[in-house]
Amino acid sequence: MKYENYIKVEFPSKSANEGFARSAAGVFASQLDPTMEELGDIKTAVSEAVTNAIVHAYPDTIGKVSMRCRILEGNRLEIVIRDWGRGIEDVERARKPLFTTGGEERSGMGFTIMESFMDRLQVRSHPGEGTTVTMVRVLPKKSRER
């Protein structure tokens, strides 16, 4: 696919990196001149996907998480968050609102939030191999004041 720019970062699944990942995605997205609301949506969706990798993919270990952000043709921002952890048995069920395997600390709303804040959400996962979450958000060109 044709892209105009990209970044790729990799970090261990430590919660201190959640803030770093969403901020980095936000700074990268700034090239597309997003509104405050768009920027908030993007950072939130990234935070959800990265937190899932940290909490669910590697429940008892520290593993590798990667994030790639790309600017595609047509003012589209694509973000791919990947882990090599436990994987998801039934993706369709995992994406349903309120579904969680995380007990009281989780609300089961992560995928629902990603879905409502981004234009596209794709989740690919294989148990024992890991999970790849791909999200796309179109950031329409802002019309200058007429």
Partner 1 sequence: MTIKPEYREGCLRLSFQGELDHHSAEKALREAEGIIDRYLPKNCILDLSGLSFMDSSGIAVILRIHRRMAETGGRLLVDRPADQARRVLDAAGLNRIVPIREIKETVQ
Contact between 5 and partner 1 by CB under 8 A: the answer reads: no
Choose among 69, 72, 70, 12: nearest CA to 46: 69
Distance of CA 121 to the CA centre of its chain: 9
CA distances from 2 to 22, 48, 68, 78, 135 (A): 24, 27, 15, 12, 17
Contact between 64 and ligand ATP by CB under 6 A: the answer reads: no
Find the binder of ligand ATP among 17, 83, 118, 135 (CB under 6 A). 83
Find the binder of partner 1 among 9, 72, 109, 138 (CB under 8 A). 109
CA distances from 3 to 21, 35, 69, 126 (A): 21, 22, 10, 27
Per-residue binding letters, 76-115, with Mg ion (x by CB under 5 A) = ----------------------------------x-----
Q: Which amino acid is at 18?
A: E
Tell me if residue 52 is catalytic.
yes
The partner residues of 78 in beta bridges, in order of sequence, read 70, 136
Piece in contact with ligand ATP (CB under 6 A), picked from 12-20, 22-30, 67-75, 83-91: 83-91
Annotated catalytic residue, options 68, 75, 95, 106: 106
- Per CB under 6 A, residues contacting ligand ATP are 48, 52-53, 56-57, 83, 85-88, 94, 99-102, 106-111, 131
